[in-house]
C-alpha cells in the first residue's frame, strides 16, 4: 500500500509525488463514453470529427477532469478528502497521445478542525503540452 | 449587461432552472464502469466487503461519478442564440464534493443557468455558458455541485 501523506509533511511548492499516465486510444474514449453515457460522435466517429475540422476523434474534457480526480484521490489516500476540483480545457487530445496528470502544492492551512492543501493541477500530453490546467482542494490528516 | 452575443432575453434566463434529468440510482455496475474508464479499480470502488470493512455502507463512487448522468446539452437547448453558431466546445469543469456517494443511493440532479459571459477570441465571438447542477441524495444531503462551462463559437458575420 501507498504511504498516507500527512498535512504536517506537506511543503509549499512541492510537486505531488505521483503522476497519473493514461495512453489514449479510440477504445479508451469509447469506455469513457459508455461509462458516462456521452455519445457525442466527436469522441468515436473519425468521419464526424473530420467533418468539423478535427484530424481525429478527441478525448472528453470531463474524462481529463476525472483523471485529475484520480491523481488527487490516489495521492491523499483513504484518510484524505477531495473537496474541490476544477480544470479548463485548453487543447484537444487525440488517440496515440498519453495524458499525464500532475500537481503542485500552492497553499496549506487549517480551518474548523480540518487541514487543507490547495494544489495547482494540470493534464499535459507526453510532450508536456498543457491541455487542462486546474485547481484542487484536499484535506489531509494531521499528526498533531 | 448584454453584449454582441448575449441578448436581453438570454440575459433574463440567468438563474432559471434547467432540465437536469430524473433522479437516478447509484449502481455498483455503473461505479465499476467509471472506475474502469479512469483505470482506477480501487477496492473502495469495486470490493463491497472491503468498503464495508472501512466504514462504508457499500462501495464508494469515484468523485466525479454524478457526471454519469450529466446533461451538458441542457443549457444549449434552453437558450435561443440570435447569432450564427459555428461550433460548441466543452470549456471547463468545476466540482465541489460535499459528501460520499455509495451504491444504493438515489441522486436527484437539479440544474440552473448560473452565468453567461462573452469574449472576443481569435476565431470570433465566444459565448460562455455556465450551468450548475446540484446533486441531492435520498436523505436530502447535497453531495456534489458541478459547474460546467460550454463555449459557443459564433460564426463571423459579414
Mean pLDDT of A22-43: 94
Distance from CA of B135 to the nearest CA of A (A): 15
Q: Does B155 touch chain A (CB under 8 A)?
A: no
Q: Where are the alpha helices (DSSP H) in B47-98?
A: 48-53, 74-78
Distance from CA of B78 to the nearest CA of A (A): 19
All three cell numbers of B17, joined, read 432552472
- The residues in B 16-35 lying below 8 A from A, measured between CB atoms, are 30, 33-34
Q: Does B138 touch chain A (CB under 8 A)?
A: no
Q: List the domain boundaries for chain A.
A: 13-139
All three cell numbers of B112, joined, read 440552473
pLDDT at B1: 44
Structure pTM? 0.95
Chain centroid, CA A9 distance in Å: 23
Q: Does A5 touch chain B (CB under 8 A)?
A: no
B109 touches B69 (CB < 8 A): yes
Mean pLDDT of A121-142: 98
**CB-neighbour burial class of residue B33 (10 A; exposed 0-12, middle 13-18, buried 19+):** middle
Mean pLDDT of B15-34: 92
pLDDT at B143: 98
Residue of B nearest to A86 (CA): B94
Return d(Cα B105, Cα A4) in angstroms, integer: 28
* Chain A positions in Cβ-Cβ contact with residue B89 (cut-off 8 Å): 89
Return d(Cα B149, Cα B147) in angstroms, integer: 7
Dihedral, CA atoms, A96, A84, B65, B91, nearest 10 degrees?
-50
pLDDT at B3: 65
**How big is the CA angle at B74 (ends B37 and A29), to the nearest 5 degrees?**
20
Grade residue A115 by pLDDT with cuts at 50, 70 and 90. very high
Mean pLDDT of A15-33: 97
Residue of B nearest to A30 (CA): B37
pLDDT at A66: 98
Mean pLDDT of A40-48: 94
Return d(Cα B119, Cα B114) in angstroms, integer: 17
Return d(Cα A140, Cα A3) in angstroms, integer: 13
Q: Does A85 touch chain B (CB under 8 A)?
A: yes
- Contact between chains at A86 and B39 (C-beta distance less than 8 A): no
Q: List the domain boundaries for chain B.
A: 8-25+71-154
What is the dotted CATH code of the domain comprising A13-139? 3.10.129.10
All three cell numbers of A37, joined, read 453515457
CA distances from B136 to A84, B101, B105 (A): 17, 10, 10
Q: Could you give the maximum distance between any two Cα atoms of chain B, in Å?
A: 66
What is the dotted CATH code of the domain comprising B8-25+71-154? 3.10.129.10
Query: ipTM of this predicted complex?
Result: 0.96
A80 touches A5 (CB < 8 A): yes
Chain centroid, CA B78 distance in Å: 15
Res B106 pLDDT > 70: yes
Mean pLDDT of B134-138: 97
Among A19-23, A93-97, B5-9, B27-31, the range scoring the smallest mean pLDDT is: B5-9
* Chain A positions in Cβ-Cβ contact with residue B67 (cut-off 8 Å): 36, 62, 66
Res A3 pLDDT > 70: yes
pLDDT, one tens digit per residue, over A51-97 is: 988 999 999 999 999 999 999 999 999 999 999 999 999 999 999 99
Residue of A nearest to B64 (CA): A66
Grade residue B71 by pLDDT with cuts at 50, 70 and 90. low
A10 touches A108 (CB < 8 A): yes
Q: Which conformational region is residue A112 in: left (phi greater than 0), alpha (psi within -120 to 50 degrees), or beta?
A: left
User: In DSSP terms, which residues pair with B110 in a beta bridge?
Assistant: B134
Q: Where are the alpha helices (DSSP H) in A1-91?
A: 26-36, 46-51, 61-76
A136: closest CA among A80, A52, A57?
Answer: A80
pLDDT at B124: 80
Half-sphere exposure in the Cβ direction for A64 (13 Å, CA)? 35
Res A131 pLDDT > 80: yes
Amino acid at each position: 500500500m501507498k504511504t498516507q501523506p500527512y498535512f504536517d509533511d506537506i511543503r509549499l511548492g512541492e510537486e505531488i509525488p505521483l503522476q497519473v499516465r493514461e495512453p489514449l486510444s479510440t477504445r479508451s474514449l469509447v469506455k469513457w463514453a459508455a461509462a458516462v453515457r456521452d455519445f457525442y460522435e466527436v469522441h468515436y466517429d473519425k468521419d464526424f470529427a473530420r467533418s468539423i475540422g478535427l484530424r481525429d476523434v478527441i478525448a472528453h474534457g470531463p474524462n481529463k477532469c476525472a483523471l485529475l480526480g484520480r491523481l488527487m484521490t490516489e495521492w491523499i489516500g483513504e484518510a484524505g478528502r477531495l473537496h474541490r476540483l476544477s480544470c479548463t480545457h485548453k487543447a484537444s487530445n487525440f488517440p496515440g497521445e498519453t495524458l499525464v496528470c500532475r500537481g503542485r502544492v500552492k497553499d496549506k492551512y487549517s480551518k474548523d478542525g480540518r487541514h487543507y492543501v490547495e494544489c495547482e493541477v494540470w493534464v499535459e500530453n507526453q510532450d508536456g503540452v498543457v491541455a487542462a490546467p486546474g485547481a484542487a482542494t484536499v484535506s489531509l490528516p494531521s499528526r498533531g | 449587461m448584454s453584449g454582441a452575443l448575449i441578448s436581453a432575453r438570454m440575459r433574463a434566463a440567468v438563474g432559471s432552472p434547467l432540465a437536469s434529468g430524473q433522479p437516478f440510482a447509484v449502481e455498483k455496475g455503473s461505479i465499476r464502469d467509471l472506475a474502469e474508464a479512469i483505470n482506477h479499480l480501487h477496492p473502495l470502488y469495486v470490493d463491497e466487503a472491503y468498503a464495508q470493512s472501512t466504514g462504508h455502507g457499500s462501495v464508494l463512487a469515484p468523485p466525479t461519478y454524478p457526471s454519469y448522468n450529466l446533461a451538458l446539452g441542457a443549457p444549449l437547448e434552453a437558450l435561443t442564440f440570435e447569432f450564427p453558431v459555428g461550433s460548441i466546445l466543452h470549456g471547463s469543469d468545476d466540482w465541489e464534493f460535499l459528501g460520499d456517494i455509495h451504491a444504493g443511493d438515489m441522486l436527484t440532479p437539479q440544474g440552473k443557468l448560473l452565468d453567461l459571459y462573452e469574449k472576443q477570441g481569435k476565431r470570433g465571438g465566444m459565448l460562455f455558458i455556465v450551468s450548475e447542477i446540484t446533486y441531492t441524495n435520498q436523505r436530502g444531503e447535497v453531495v456534489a455541485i458541478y459547474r460546467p462551462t460550454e463555449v459557443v463559437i459564433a460564426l463571423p458575420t459579414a
